[in-house]
Amino acid sequence: MRRLTRRTWIFLIAATLPAIALTVFFYSMACSSQAGQFVDAEATSPSDRNYKDWDESDYYATADGDANVPVGRDALIENDASGAKPNYQAITKSTQPVPEYEEQLAAQLARPEAARSGRRGGRGRGRGMAPRASRGLLSQPNGLRQSLAAYPGALPSEDEELWIIQKAETDDNAARRGRGPGCGALLCKLPDQEEAIPVPLEHTDVNASISAYIATVNVTQKFANPYEEKIEAVYVFPLPQNAAINEFLMTIGDRKIRGIIRDRDEAKKIYDAAKRRGHVASLLTQERPNVFTQKVANIEPGKKIDINIKYFHTLAYDDGWYEFVFPMVVGPRYNPPGSTDGIGAVGIGARGRSGQSTEVSYLSTNQRSGHDISLAVTIDAGVVVKQSRCVNHVVETRIDAQQRTIVKLSDRDSIPNKDFVLRYKVADDKINSALLTHRDATGGYFTLMIYPPESMRSLSRKPVEMIFVLDCSGSMNGKPIEQAKSAIERGIKSLQPNDTFQIIQFSNNASQLGDAPVVASRGNVRRGLKYLKDLRGGGGTQMIEGIKAALDFPHDEERLRFVCFMTDGFIGNESQILGEMHDRLGASRVFSFGVGSSPNRFLMNRMAKLGNGAVAYLSLNDCGSDVMDHFFERISHPAMTDLKIDWGGMAVRDVFPERTPDLFVGRPVILTGRFDGSVGQRIRISGDAGGQDRQIVVNTNGTSNELEGLAAIWARTKIADLVDKATYADDRDISGEIRSLALNYSLMSQFTAFVAVDSLSRTAGTQGTTIRVPVAIPDGVRYETTVTE
């Protein structure tokens, strides 16, 4: 190689360095673009923190860097140079002044139009509590505050709070225009008012029809883009834990696209690819059996997209009352330290701070979004509905020409912040056991409701060992814990002198009335009531400690042991709880009482099922004494056990639950299975109640009611059974079985998802900004003690 001159070397270096710099620059741009395209936002920022553990330094940590989600809720300022449209930038939380922001603010404030923009375009000025960072910024004794104060309205006052949805950094065009979701939709509130906050979910419409004890429910979520650039909407919402979701439609204008059930990972890849390519697409995934995430990509400004979900489920039935439930909001869950696959509860702008794979964004107490709900239930019971009661909502009830009862949620009660619970009694007081069937190309399906014989009420119970376990965590603070205490008080007072009892409380840890259950003597009852009265809510939900404390001490063979859990079930580690309970259950029967307006019904039901007990709910409007009286009425008579069924010629298979549960007074059992051949004349169920043989006869007369949805209900029940088994059989791989079952029956599950793509057209530009739909905190739950900010 020819020897180079010094001048040539200098020239070479001078020419090369800018090339390197340019290359690195373009690479970094490519990386930032890729981050927006390929990184699954839900998989980011894992951490072992939870909302009870964070400290001041965590709280004031900078935003998580996910540019596609709304962040920042503090001071903001317009930076629109043109003055045509206000643009806002979030200032991350900081107790210290941030020099570059201050410079930016000062520079921007030099433009008078910035301060004159007023409230146009949903500008973020409103009254409210002063956010910390605002106070921090405002308290700085430097020239900035004075500069800001020179412009009327530029600074929030002490009682103002400003909200902002941050722009996507990847959308540079929108950023330049300053007309995207980062600016057009401002979130703000007044302290004494509820001001509508624009969110991409405008409305949820629920239309349910009930036939016999099967509900068919259509849920329509109406998404719209109120911003000035396209968005992806993400909404975490609840459905009943036993919902068999088998239909998913996406409506764009007058076009309806049926979603396809796919393996979950495959569906996510399809959705992501469609999103990147600008197609309108939607994805429904299951996070828990009762918690789901809906994503809708590429909603253009001003456009509306509806998502329709259809599901079936069986109703609960208890002492003459059927119960239909539609949950409206996911309660804020406690996740034990170290967990990352729970469901985090965060305030707006705190995306990623819970460290959980799924997060729910909550509006603070005095805020509400424009999202509302309408709901109607049509009951076609075959007989007149004699009495109905809606526990948490105001409803209007009428009977139509076909003698169907129609219950409609009142327009005055349309905020989705508590479970809709409708209980009704039919005119025929004597409820008989019944068989429902359905046949299609895949074979025959049935459900059998076995109602316990009334004669069981004449039998009296043995002495009991009653363990009351009270959740004293922060989410129970206030009315929920008072409700639960009132029920326990009634329970203690209902004990007989030969019974024993124990009271256990848990929050961050567990403690109890005494080392062992004490005899229900007058003095002990008084001592127990005083102990109960002094219990307060606060701290985490280490339910595992409550489980251990309740199930670990030796069982008194002379008494039946009943363990009553009073909790809202706001935890993210359900599987761990259920596994521990299964391992420690022994001779105990577990009765779970779901407390509050939106308890975790999945957990409550599974605890009762695993614990061979039953579930009851104690809403904020229920009377604790009545609920406990009802429970005591049930346990005051022996259950009918060791059930055996003569199917009368029906060739049944795959019946779930595999072990027929015990029958308690007033509480039927529902079995779901498949069958071949014809239905026989009658089905006979025999068992033992208090040492006496009992028999129940179900007359089918060779026919039965034909009901759509039974195939889906059967498949959903089988999936639930597989999940239960996996809870306590670690070595069993159920994913293949569940996946195959769900794909064959077009069912949502933890391993499958619905995806729908409109391939006919593509939207312009990049994939848009991700907006997470903030939801109301459940009625009666305190935001301050449950939500990470």
Partner 1 sequence: MRKLIAILITIAISTALVRAQPPADMNKNNDVRFVAFDVYIDSGDEPLAAYQIDISDLSGRTKIVGVEGGESTAFDAPPYYDPAALHNEGRIILGAFTIDDDATTGKSRVARLHMQIEGEQPADFDVKLIVAADADGRDIDANVNINEGNQ
CB of 27 to partner 1, least distance (A): 4
Give the tokens for residue 652: 């049944």
- Any contact of residue 745 with partner 1 (CB under 8 A)? yes
- Is the CB of 13 or the CB of 401 nearer to partner 1? 13
39: contact with partner 1 by CB under 8 A: no
How far is it, in rounded angstroms, from Cα 747 to Cα 260?
A: 10
Least Cβ distance, residue 742 to partner 1 (angstroms):
9
DSSP SS3 for 591? strand
Give min distance, CB of 303 to partner 1, in A: 16
d(CA 560, CA 656): 27
User: Minimum Å distance from CB 746 to partner 1?
Assistant: 4
Residues 6 or more apart whose CB falls under 8 angstroms from that of 561 comprise 464, 465, 467, 555, 587, 588, 589
Q: Is 37 in the site for partner 1 (CB under 8 A)?
A: yes
Which CA distances in Å does 757 have to 268, 269, 696, 726? 12, 12, 51, 33
- Among 139-147, 373-381, 507-515, 753-761, which window interacts with partner 1 (CB under 8 A)? 753-761
Where does 366-488 show beta strands of DSSP type E? 368-369, 372-380, 385-390, 395-399, 405-409, 420-426, 434-440, 443-450, 464-471
Between 10 and 384, whose beta carbon lies closer to partner 1? 10
When the beta carbons of 100 and 764 are compared against partner 1, the nearer one is 764
As a whole number of angstroms, the distance between CA 615 and CA 631 comes to: 9
d(CA 295, CA 163): 23
Whole-angstrom distance, CA of residue 198 vs CA of residue 202? 8
Which of 628, 755 has the CB closer to partner 1?
Answer: 755
**145 near partner 1 (CB under 8 A):** no
What is each CA distance from 618 to 142, 392, 593, in whole angstroms?
Answer: 55, 11, 7
Tell which residue, 533, 552, 536, 555, has the closest CA to residue 544: 552
Q: Is 20 in the site for partner 1 (CB under 8 A)?
A: yes
Q: Which stretch binds partner 1 (CB under 8 A): 4-12, 113-121, 486-494, 668-676?
A: 4-12
Element (H, E) at 191: none
| Residue among 294 and 512 whose Cβ is closer to partner 1 | 294
Q: Which one of the spans 8-16, 296-304, 420-428, 542-550 is the region binding partner 1 (CB under 8 A)?
A: 8-16
What crossing angle do the helices spanning 710-728 and 735-744 adopt, rounded to 10°? 170
Cβ neighbours of residue 470 closer than 8 Å, sequence gap 6 or more: 481, 484, 485, 488, 503, 504, 505, 506, 532, 535, 566, 567
Q: Rank residues 617 and 745 by Cβ distance to partner 1 and give the closer one.
A: 745
Residue 506: in which H helix or E strand, if any?
strand 500-506
For residues 164 and 505, what is the distance between their CA atoms, to the nearest angstrom? 41
Segment interacting with partner 1 (CB under 8 A) among 24-32, 123-131, 152-160, 575-583: 24-32
Distance in angstroms (rounded) separating the CA atoms of residues 209 and 583 = 40
* Helix (H), strand (E), coil (C) string for 68-101: CCCCCCCCEEECCCCCCCCCEEECCCCCCCCHHH
Rounded Cα gap, residues 737 and 51, in angstroms: 35
Q: What are phi and psi of 776, to 5 degrees?
A: -75, 145
Nearer to partner 1, 384 or 760 (CB): 760
Residues with Cβ within 8 Å of residue 727, at least 6 apart in sequence:
575, 578, 579, 582, 610
Provide the minimum distance between the beta carbon of 234 and partner 1 in the complex, in angstroms, as a whole number. 19
* Interacting span for partner 1 (CB under 8 A) from 11-19, 138-146, 350-358, 367-375: 11-19
Q: What is the DSSP letter of 704?
A: -
| Cβ partners under 8 Å of residue 687, min gap 6 | 640, 641, 642, 643, 644, 663, 693, 694, 695
- Nearest residue (CB) to partner 1, 410 versus 442: 442
Residue 24 binds to partner 1 (criterion: CB under 8 A): yes
Pick between residue 262 and residue 479 the one whose CB is nearest to partner 1: 262
Q: Which of residues 441-480 bind partner 1 (CB under 8 A)?
A: 442
In the complex, the smallest distance separating the C-beta of residue 333 from partner 1, rounded to whole angstroms, is 32
Cα gap 442→445, rounded to integer Å: 9
- Token reading at 190: 């007044």
Specify the pairing of strand 231-238 against strand 769-772: parallel
**CB of 31 vs partner 1, minimal distance in Å:** 9
Structure tokens, 463: 């002495």
CB of 259 to partner 1, least distance (A): 7
For position 44 contacting partner 1 by CB under 8 A, the verdict is no
Nearer to partner 1, 43 or 57 (CB): 43
Site for partner 1 in 243-282 (CB under 8 A): 249-250, 255-262, 266, 269-270, 272-274, 276-277, 279, 281
Identify which of residues 281 and 776 has a Cβ nearer to partner 1 in the complex: 281
* Site mask for partner 1 (CB under 8 A), range 98-137, x = bound: ----------------------------------------
Q: Does 764 bind partner 1 (CB under 8 A)?
A: no
Q: How far is the CB of 2 from partner 1 (least distance, A)?
A: 12
Cα separation, 62 vs 735, whole angstroms: 38
- For 131, phi then psi, to 5°, come to -70, 155
* Site of tokens 């991350």: 92
Q: Which amino acid is it at 47? A: S
496 makes contact with partner 1 (CB under 8 A) = no
Residue from 2, 7, 13, 730 in contact with partner 1 (CB under 8 A): 13
The span of 10-18, 199-207, 513-521, 529-537 binding partner 1 (CB under 8 A) equals 10-18
The residue within the footprint of partner 1, chosen from 11, 27, 62, 558 (CB under 8 A), is 27
The answer to whether residue 744 forms part of the interface with partner 1 (CB under 8 A) is yes
Nearest CB to partner 1, comparing residues 254 and 552: 254
Give the residue, chosen from 35, 406, 697, 743, that forms a contact with partner 1 under the rule CB under 8 A. 743
Site string for partner 1, 407-446 (x = CB under 8 A): -----------------------------------x----
67 within 8 A of 153, measured Cβ to Cβ = no
Please state the closest distance from residue 536 (CB atom) to partner 1, in A: 51
Residue number with CB closer to partner 1 (9 or 82): 9
Given 38, 398, 460, 659, the residue binding partner 1 (CB under 8 A): 38
Q: Which is nearer to partner 1, 109 or 280 (CB)?
A: 280
Q: How many residues bind partner 1 (CB under 8 A)?
A: 48
Check binding of 735 to partner 1 (CB under 8 A).
no
Positions that interact with partner 1 (CB under 8 A): 4, 9, 12-13, 16, 19-20, 23-24, 26-27, 30, 34, 37-38, 249-250, 255-262, 266, 269-270, 272-274, 276-277, 279, 281, 442, 740, 743-746, 755-761
